[in-house]
Amino acid sequence: MELIDVILGIFAVCLVAVVAYRGLTEIYGYWKRQNVPFVPAKPLIGSIDWKTMNKPLQEIETEWYNRYGRIYGRFEATKPVLSVGDPDILRNILSTDFQIFPNRRDLKFHDPVMDNTLFVLEGDAWSRVRNIVSPAFTTSKLKRMFPLLTECSDLLVERFAEVKNKTEDLNCQEYYGAFVLSAIARCAFGMNISAIRDPKNVFVEKSKKLFYECLSWRTYLTILCPVLMKIFRLKLLNPETTGFYRNTIIQVLEERKKLNLIRDDFLQMLIDAEDANNNGADIICEKGGCKVSTQPKIEKKGLTHDEMLSQSVTFFIAGFDATTSLLSHVTYRLAMHQNYQQMVVDEMKDALNNHNGKMCYDALSEMKFLNAVIHECLRMCPAMVRHERRAEQDYQIQSRKIHLKKGTIVSIPVYAMHHDPEWYPEPEVFKPERFYPEELRAMSRYNYLPFGNGKRMCVGMRFVHIQVKLCIAKLLMKFQIMPAPSTPQTLGYTESRNVLTVNKVEVRLMERQLY
């Protein structure tokens, strides 16, 4: 009897092993059966092994892109993912067939702040919140923010002048981070946080923690086993930082209600949307602002309290690293390329002459070569290494005869595409002339994706652009940017959870006589 039990046990183990082997063979043969090049996978782990995890994501993506082509498959644990770097197919995924790919990866982990951000929201909730938030970034709204951005830029230049007299080398990230938070606080929430005068300000320190002190295992667990993140209610981002900003916004709200303050800013627009939601009215957002509809209400179209807080917190934290990095990157390139810096200064003089010597919104709009410099920096170091979309139903890529099952993630290798020599010859060389107006018009919209494309394109893109452009213009009006002895010949990048930033940049400033 015991011998029979042993034999049956061995048979059962062998049967389970055979079934598991056949199951894994079926799973990992998904791309091979469709003749799609793919990154080999290890059982249960997928295409990224422990050795690969130690490499920066942009290096991994570029290596795979160059080895397997613009379209290739990979596996996250046992789930197939398709990487698509073909602009024609991306046009369909991001725009034409948006109804099939309306959402990103599911990142809802029972966090009331992050679950209600535009980045994570899905379906009707995303569409409703997007329609409410978008009017904050129209041309008319940006023009009204311009004087506040000018004040913050002038304060930063004054601070640079003070620091320059005390130390020769200037740490760009330290002061730009303070500027970015101050500008957001002033323009969006009517707050004066004095971060420019004090780069060690609590707002700056908390924002740094968001990306640099959050354990990386959260990211890996999100990809390999998101179910565990949901079960244990783990947060993807540092809860200390998100909680700090949430509490700050609540304090501002309480102060406004207590003093009955009504301001013309981003927060007031969200407050109005929440009030409309609570009062049973529809909120209608158009260019210029939001208003309450007098028509009978069928369903809620405003914002819940959590949604309102979430958009406020997101405004603070989403742009901190990306905008700080972009400002530092532009400063570095202008320091290392004095010819390009002079071209920006020359066009700035022309713009100022056209507007009585004042750096107004229209004068800034005329600085096309500075636009090109910013675009080239975003090409070389996009804010995100890759974007993602999720198929909400089965989908056929007709041109390649590739079938995607419902729930499949489509990964868009932005960094690798931006360094494709067919589209960008000598991709590691800084050439802003690639984006001078004539060249930019001829370029495909779907092989340059620093802010994404389609309906899910970054809603704050224009705010970031004008913030960076004005700050750099104000800096160049006062100083010539020079490399410091510590300025690297080749600028390195740091990747943290798909967010890409430039490494430390130090420069020197020399007084400039503009005329």
CB atoms within 10 A of CB 151: 15
- Asked whether 148 and 187 are in contact (CB, 8 A), the reply is yes
Task: Please name every residue paired with 384 in a beta bridge, in sequence order, or none if there are none.
Answer: 499
**DSSP result, 321-350:** HHHHHHHHHHHHHHHH-HHHHHHHHHHHHH
Cα–Cα distance measured from residue 432 to residue 45, given in angstroms and rounded to the nearest whole number:
41
89, 95, 98, 103 alpha-carbon torsion, rounded to 10°: 90
396 sits in which H/E element? strand 395-397
Cα–Cα distance measured from residue 7 to residue 314, given in angstroms and rounded to the nearest whole number:
61
Residue 482: C-alpha distances to residues 139, 160, 167, 489 (Å): 34, 14, 14, 13
Cα–Cα distance measured from residue 15 to residue 443, given in angstroms and rounded to the nearest whole number:
56
Residue 50: C-alpha distances to residues 132, 220, 405, 496 (Å): 43, 11, 28, 16
Q: Angle CA(329)–CA(334)–CA(339) in degrees, nearest 5? A: 155
Buried b (16+ CB within 10 A) or exposed e, 345-357: bebbeebbeeeee
Query: Which one, of 365, 347, 349, lies nearest residue 357 by Cα?
Result: 349
Cα–Cα distance measured from residue 389 to residue 101, given in angstroms and rounded to the nearest whole number:
6
The full length of the chain comes to: 515
Cα–Cα distance measured from residue 149 to residue 443, given in angstroms and rounded to the nearest whole number:
31
3-state secondary structure of 167: coil
Cα–Cα distance measured from residue 22 to residue 20, given in angstroms and rounded to the nearest whole number:
5
14 is in an annotated binding site: no
Cα–Cα distance measured from residue 315 to residue 71, given in angstroms and rounded to the nearest whole number:
34
| Cβ-based neighbours of 439, under 8 Å, separated by 6 or more | 433
Buried b (16+ CB within 10 A) or exposed e, 457-472: ebbbebbbbbbbbbbb
Cα–Cα distance measured from residue 474 to residue 497, given in angstroms and rounded to the nearest whole number:
33
Which residues does the annotation place in the binding site? 458
Which residues does the annotation place in the binding site for heme? 458
